């Protein structure tokens, strides 16, 4: 037998390698645009605003971000910390999950290495997104499912505790419901089949949970909007014909499973190439779980997970096959793939030695060729510093939609977040500063800027652009109004434009 300590050290090496490689992406000069949206929400004026805003992440995620920024202060690193910790913790958690399923240290090491090698999880470990947290909560609920469905008696107390944890999970990670909902109902069904009338209270607990889940569904569905649905229109089941439904499930379903497994090192991290030869192991893993009496309930749990996800997709609540939006499903793909290896090696001689050898080989790959990630270059904070330093309170300030999030996050002014159905992120950020115009998205800025200049007539106007298409129109309107234009501070993705009425600006 391979010494347990060797496998443990290899697993620790895989985890530490991922930690050291990814930490280089922490604390960039500025947050990227998409992260600025979440950051501005977390910085909003009141807790009520944070909870009411219809952004497409669980309210608890924003509250945690808000708490981390208040605790640590650093505006970039503090918001990256939660996704980073979740992404690194996912590696040993998946190893623990597979260890509970297989009782094999070698396969647990294999699962840890496969998790460390997943490029999408690695990429979103350093971005201010809930994806790595979604991954982790799915894995934790799977571990809970293995414990509850794998032989322990389902008592009322245990189910109540599971329901309470499911509620917490939903507040932190909306996608956790795809695992927790089938788990609660399967646990109640198992108790009923085992004990009938004696399990009536367990069934009532599950029924109460389902009623609460329905109420949450009616509330949370309002956090979606037509712009987001249009962005993901190709990731929802097309009901035009049975053939289209089948083709979608084959294409997008397999894409979701394959994206959870390692990809070639040179593939784009946020849109990885898929490795088709690993997919048969996923199918074999499910067959193996279903065939064994000891793990059959876990197979039904994973089938329920897939059913819940497809039901949500059919109701246009959640897209599948969009790579990053399906990161929460990656623990299922990894666990099933490893179970496929479990099946293939089951009838070999000295199978635990073979499994340990496979685990050590993949772990060596994960340490020798780790998935390297880098935060996209962004230095927009210098634009805000330029405005804060040089703009007088009476100066006009014009913000593109993207720049509004930048100034909302880095500026000294109070921030208000409101609903904006025209944007895929469903929100709008407003900086509570006098003499400020927030240009609406996806609309010509001409009439809004004309009205602003006619009403306020500022001596100087500052325009902050963040790579939008409004810049040329803004320049033209300011020039037609007699402003002399000068370029100010520049950044990787945008810049500051100063317009001075009727005379050249000072050097």
DSSP 118-138: -HHHHHTTSSS-SHHHHHHHH
* pLDDT score of 31: 94
Task: With respect to residue 400, please indicate whether it lies within any of the assigned structural domains.
Answer: yes
Among residues of the chain, what percentage have pLDDT more than 90?
47
Domain shared by 388 and 491, yes or no: yes
Say if residue 150's pLDDT is above 90: no
Q: Token pair for residue 153?
A: 């008696």
Task: With respect to residue 190, please indicate whether it lies within any of the assigned structural domains.
Answer: yes
Considering only CA atoms, which of 48, 31, 5 is closest in space to residue 493? Answer: 31
Question: Burial code of 95-115, b = ≥16 C-beta within 10 A, e = fewer?
Answer: bbbbbbbbebbbbbbbbbbbb
Instruction: Provide mean pLDDT across the span 499-504.
Output: 72
CA distances in angstroms from 237 to 57, 283, 320, listed in the order given: 22, 22, 9
Say if residue 16's pLDDT is above 90: yes
Domain boundary among 339, 368, 397: 368
d(CA 429, CA 272): 32
Domain shared by 467 and 417, yes or no: yes
Instruction: Provide mean pLDDT across the span 271-284.
Output: 81
Q: If DSSP codes are grouped into helix, strand and coil, which group holds residue 276?
A: helix
Instruction: Provide mean pLDDT across the span 256-278.
Output: 77
End-to-end CA, the chain = 77
Domain boundary among 368, 398, 425: 368
d(CA 207, CA 202): 9
Which bin fits 196, alpha (ψ -120 to 50), beta or left (φ > 0)?
Answer: left
Instruction: Provide mean pLDDT across the span 329-336.
Output: 95
* pLDDT score of 288: 93
Helices (H), 73-221: 77-102, 105-116, 119-123, 131-149, 156-172, 177-195, 200-220
Question: How confident is the prediction for the chain on average, in pLDDT?
Answer: 88
d(CA 33, CA 466): 9
Residue ranges making up the domain that contains 90: 4-30+76-368
The answer to whether 358 touches 340, Cβ cutoff 8 Å, is no
Task: Answer with the residue of higher pLDDT: 402 or 81.
Answer: 81
Q: What is the DSSP string of 286-333?
A: HHHHHHSGGGHHHHHHHHHHHHHHHHHHHTTSS--SSGGGGGGGHHHH
d(CA 337, CA 277): 11
Domain shared by 462 and 362, yes or no: no
Residue listed under structure tokens 């497409």: 56
Domain boundary among 314, 341, 368: 368
Task: With respect to residue 68, please indicate whether it lies within any of the assigned structural domains.
Answer: no
Domain shared by 147 and 291, yes or no: yes
* pLDDT score of 390: 92
Order of strands across the sheet that contains 495-501 = 436-438, 396-399, 460-465, 495-501, 483-490
**Signed CA dihedral, 149, 152, 153, 155: sign only:** negative
Burial-class residue 243 by CB neighbours within 10 Å (0-12, 13-18, 19+): exposed
The answer to whether 39 touches 82, Cβ cutoff 8 Å, is no
Say if residue 214's pLDDT is above 90: no
pLDDT band at 183, cuts 50/70/90? very high
How many structural domains compose the chain?
2
SS (H, E, C) 206-251: HHHHHHHHHHHHHHHHHHCCHHHHHHCHHHCCCCCCHHHHHHHHHH
Domain shared by 139 and 278, yes or no: yes
**Signed CA dihedral, 141, 146, 152, 154: sign only:** positive
Say if residue 337's pLDDT is above 80: yes
* pLDDT score of 504: 44
Domain shared by 361 and 441, yes or no: no
Residue listed under structure tokens 């993207």: 402
d(CA 92, CA 11): 8
**Signed CA dihedral, 285, 291, 292, 294: sign only:** positive
* pLDDT score of 235: 87
Task: With respect to residue 179, please indicate whether it lies within any of the assigned structural domains.
Answer: yes
Residue listed under structure tokens 């987001």: 228
Cα 113 to its chain centre, rounded Å, is 21
What are the beta bridge partners of residue 397?
Answer: 436, 462
Say if residue 346's pLDDT is above 50: yes
* pLDDT score of 506: 46
Task: With respect to residue 460, please indicate whether it lies within any of the assigned structural domains.
Answer: yes
Say if residue 503's pLDDT is above 70: no
pLDDT band at 196, cuts 50/70/90? low
Domain shared by 330 and 465, yes or no: no
* pLDDT score of 301: 94
Considering only CA atoms, which of 258, 263, 250 is closest in space to residue 330? Answer: 258
Say if residue 505's pLDDT is above 60: no
pTM for this prediction: 0.92
Domain shared by 337 and 419, yes or no: no
Question: Burial code of 474-491, b = ≥16 C-beta within 10 A, e = fewer?
Answer: bbebbeebebebeebbeb
Task: With respect to residue 56, please indicate whether it lies within any of the assigned structural domains.
Answer: no
Say if residue 28's pLDDT is above 50: yes
Domain shared by 246 and 156, yes or no: yes
pLDDT band at 305, cuts 50/70/90? very high
Domain shared by 398 and 339, yes or no: no
Domain shared by 139 and 288, yes or no: yes
Task: With respect to residue 357, please indicate whether it lies within any of the assigned structural domains.
Answer: yes
Least confidently predicted of 7-21, 307-321, 430-444, 490-504: 490-504
Considering only CA atoms, which of 414, 446, 418 is closest in space to residue 432? Answer: 414
Instruction: Provide mean pLDDT across the span 159-169.
Output: 87
Domain shared by 231 and 176, yes or no: yes
Task: Answer with the residue of higher pLDDT: 65 or 232.
Answer: 65
d(CA 272, CA 274): 6
Residue 62 backbone dihedrals phi, psi, to 5 degrees: -70, -35
Q: If DSSP codes are grouped into helix, strand and coil, which group holds residue 363?
A: helix
Q: What is the pLDDT of residues 91-138, one digit of tens each?
A: 999 999 999 999 999 999 999 999 999 999 999 999 999 999 999 999
* pLDDT score of 336: 95
pLDDT band at 507, cuts 50/70/90? very low
Q: Give the DSSP letter of residue 175.
A: G
Task: With respect to residue 198, please indicate whether it lies within any of the assigned structural domains.
Answer: yes
Say if residue 76's pLDDT is above 90: yes
Q: At what angle do helices 401-410 and 33-42 cross, to 10 degrees?
A: 50
* pLDDT score of 493: 84
What are the beta bridge partners of residue 396?
Answer: 461
d(CA 180, CA 453): 54
Say if residue 58's pLDDT is above 70: yes
d(CA 299, CA 269): 30
């Amino acid at each position: 037998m391979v010494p347990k300590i060797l496998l443990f050290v290899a697993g620790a090496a895989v985890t530490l390698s991922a930690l050291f490689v990814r930490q280089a992406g922490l604390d960039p000069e500025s947050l990227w645009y998409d992260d600025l949206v979440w950051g501005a929400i977390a910085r909003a004026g009141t807790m009520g605003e944070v909870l009411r805003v219809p952004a497409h992440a669980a309210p608890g995620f924003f509250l945690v971000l808000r708490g981390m920024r208040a605790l640590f202060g650093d505006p970039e690193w503090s918001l990256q910390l939660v996704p980073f910790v979740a992404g690194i913790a996912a590696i040993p958690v998946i190893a623990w999950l597979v260890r509970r399923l297989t009782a094999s240290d070698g396969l647990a090491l294999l699962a840890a290495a496969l998790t460390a090698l997943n490029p999408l999880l690695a990429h979103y470990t350093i971005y201010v997104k809930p994806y790595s947290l979604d991954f982790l909560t799915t894995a934790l609920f799977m571990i809970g499912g293995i414990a509850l469905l794998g032989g322990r008696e389902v008592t009322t107390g245990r189910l109540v505790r599971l329901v309470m944890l499911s509620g917490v999970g939903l507040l932190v990670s909306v996608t956790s419901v795809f695992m927790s909902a089938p788990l609660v109902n399967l646990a109640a069904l198992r108790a009923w089949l085992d004990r009938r009338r004696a399990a009536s209270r367990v069934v009532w607990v599950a029924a109460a949970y389902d009623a609460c889940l329905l109420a949450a569904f009616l509330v949370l569905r309002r956090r979606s909007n037509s712009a987001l649905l249009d962005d993901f229109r190709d990731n929802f089941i097309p009901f035009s014909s049975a053939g289209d439904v089948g083709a979608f499930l084959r294409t997008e379903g397999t894409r979701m499973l394959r994206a959870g497994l390692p990809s070639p090192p040179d593939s784009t991290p946020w849109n990885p190439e898929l490795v088709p030869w690993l997919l048969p192991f996923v199918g074999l893993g499910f067959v193996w779980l279903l065939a064994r009496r000891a793990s059959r309930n876990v197979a039904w749990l994973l089938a329920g997970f897939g059913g819940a996800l497809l039901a949500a997709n059919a109701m246009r609540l959640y897209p599948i096959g969009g790579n990053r939006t399906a990161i929460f499903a990656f623990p299922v793909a990894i666990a099933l793939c490893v179970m496929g290896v479990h099946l293939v090696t089951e009838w070999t001689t000295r199978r635990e030695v073979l499994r340990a050898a496979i685990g050590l080989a993949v772990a060596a790959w994960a340490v020798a060729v780790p998935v390297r990630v880098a935060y996209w270059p962004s230095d927009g904070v210098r634009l805000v510093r330029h405005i804060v330093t040089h703009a007088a309170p009476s100066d006009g300030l014009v913000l593109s939609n993207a720049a509004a999030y930048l100034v909302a996050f880095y500026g000294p002014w109070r921030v208000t977040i409101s609903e904006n159905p025209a944007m895929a992120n469903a929100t709008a950020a407003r900086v509570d500063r006098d003499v400020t115009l927030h240009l609406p998205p996806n609309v010509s800025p001409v009439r809004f800027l004309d009205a602003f200049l006619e009403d306020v007539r500022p001596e100087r106007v500052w325009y902050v652009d963040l790579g939008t298409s409004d810049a040329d129109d803004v320049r033209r309107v300011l020039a037609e109004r007699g402003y002399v234009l000068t370029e100010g501070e520049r950044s990787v993705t945008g810049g500051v434009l100063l317009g001075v009425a009727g005379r050249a600006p000072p050097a």
